[in-house]
Structure 1
Amino acid sequence: MSNTLIESQRTSDGITYDVLFKEHSKLIFKLINNFIKVKNIRLNNTEVDDIYQDIALKIFKNDYLSKYDREKSSFITWLNIICRTTVIDFYRKKMRFMDEILGDAGALETEGSVDATLFSLPADVLTERQAEVITLFFKDGMVTSEIASALNITSRTVRSIKFQALARLREHYGAASTSPDQQKPETAQDTTETRRKVS
């Protein structure tokens, strides 16, 4: 029997890893989406999928099921805390990444590509050509002359498109609310749940 299979058959309070991710995937997605909706966090479907993967990895890698104590919290509260903290971690990392792109340094030529997991453009903000140029710059690590050659346009046009795209992105992210950890919880119960640490 493989180590992976043995791990997946570990159980805590009748819940195995197989059961958790086969029977509670919809619940995990619901908890993620509820939290980002309440906190007005701008994430697309691909990013939500990435967060789900982060949650699955975190639970499995840290063997959270064996540490779960039903006397300290209900299963849904335990899972909700993991989902919330993972969303916050992902959001903070993404905002740091976007600050680097949208800051003064982002206007310079880049060397090398960036983390593809974090690189995702918001829907319906950029034109198709703007998204193409920004992707070539920041995800593929191409410079102006290379992009101009690849798209059969002038370097001046590339710089103009990039400038317009960054302006739209700054406006988009500038309109976003403060990070979720800076906002006050909705209820006293929410405060208690947020302060609890995963057992």
Structure 2
Amino acid sequence: MTAAEPARRHLVSTLERVAQGDRAALREVYELTSAKLYGICLHILGEQALAEDVLQEVYIHVWQGAGRFDPARASPITWLCMIARNRAIDWRRSSHRYEEALLAARGAAHGTAQTGEWDYGGDDRAGLLRRCMDALEESPRTSIRSAFFEGFTYSELAAHVDVPLATMKSWVRRGLAQLRRCIDNG
């Protein structure tokens, strides 16, 4: 048994209680997970007030959908993180910021985007990731950032930068291979 297993089992049983309509259990799930889920929302949305609003939607979804959680398919924290990620991405896609980000990606694909520093966090691994990302060519770097850090699908990116889907997938695949080599060589 791993050290995390008791916490996992506790969260699973608490979600089961939420599925049965136990409000105290929902409050406990919130207390156990809100900091992590808020961080996900804030990272995707970039604004505290928006992240707080989306976080509220996340827990409404948890309240309404806890009965669909299957611990055989995913850990409870993975399930909750996916809900937070998807809600934040859905919100962002429905806002004008989505179009602005895609326009920036289009500009990068055509060599007209301004390069900027992205925030991957503050530890040594984040610095290594930043250096490795910065070493990539513009198209793979922008594609990877948009797909993995901003949640766009390959199809969306390909359509908005006006390249074939296969080209977008190649940019990402080659970029990820270069990233892996760079990180492995640290």
Pairwise TM-score range, normalised by the shorter structure: 0.3 to 0.5
More helix by share: 2
Larger RCO of the pair (alpha carbons < 8 Å, separation 6+): 1
Q: TM-score, normalising length from structure 2?
A: 0.40
